[in-house]
Amino acid sequence: MVLVVAAGETVVEDLVASPILQRRGETPARDVGEDVILVPPLNFGVVDRGIYRSGFPTSDNLSFLDALNLRSIVYLCPEPYPEVNAEFVKSRGIRLFQFQIEGSRESFVSVSNHTIMGALGVLLDTRNHPVLIHCKRGKHRTGSLVGCFRKLQNWCLSSVHEEYVKFASPKARPSDMSFIEKFDVSCMMECVLGKIYRYHVSGSRRRRLVYENTL
């Protein structure tokens, strides 16, 4: 039995029946009847199939991340990764992509398109999935990157804004939404050289924007 604790609620899930809680080709080594408590990071959410977002994971969240079977982490802070987290990703063979974005109110004013395109390129490459995006609190930097990703998915701006506010409230920043609105998705064409971007239809019939190498 798995106990997933989130937002003050405890949800009981079957470890075997839930693919997200099962590692590739492995059977959890534990005694029958033993409870496993999984605590998601602050502001955890699902962006799309194989793409997650959150605030900074603490040591209490590592078992939850382990259950996601992550291949990659997109880290949006300038500070070095803490030793405990660094040891975790190293021991699991998780690739860490760091994009150094300051956490100030006007942080995205000085962020280059190259930085955003680099982070989006990681998200679009399905070889990096499952992937977790996180900053400190999973609000502004993470929300801005996800907003740009939504524009690539052709979301309308009102829906992008609604999602941003959902995670950033009560401290949503107009400067972040301004950055998202002004982000020119055509600049991503620099990243598609040698690649084909197309929509894949998953088993759930949802359209997913991914790319494949053509070189």
In angstroms, the CA 129 to CA 49 distance is: 9
* DSSP structure string for 70-111: -SEEEE--SSPPPHHHHHHHHHHT-EEEE-----STTGGGS-
Q: Tokens 């950055």 sit at which residue?
A: 179
Q: In what helix (H) or strand (E) does residue 123 lie, and over which residues does it extend?
A: helix 113-124
Which amino acid appears at position 137 of this protein?
R
What letter does residue 179 receive in the DSSP assignment? H
What letter does residue 41 receive in the DSSP assignment? P
Q: Tokens 């470890």 sit at which residue?
A: 15
In angstroms, the CA 92 to CA 69 distance is: 9
Marked catalytic residue, from 135, 148, 156, 191: 135
Q: Is 156 a residue of the active site?
A: no
Cα–Cα separations (whole angstroms), residue 30 to 15, 35, 52, 69, 102: 11, 9, 27, 18, 42
In angstroms, the CA 79 to CA 209 distance is: 31
Known catalytic residues?
A: 135
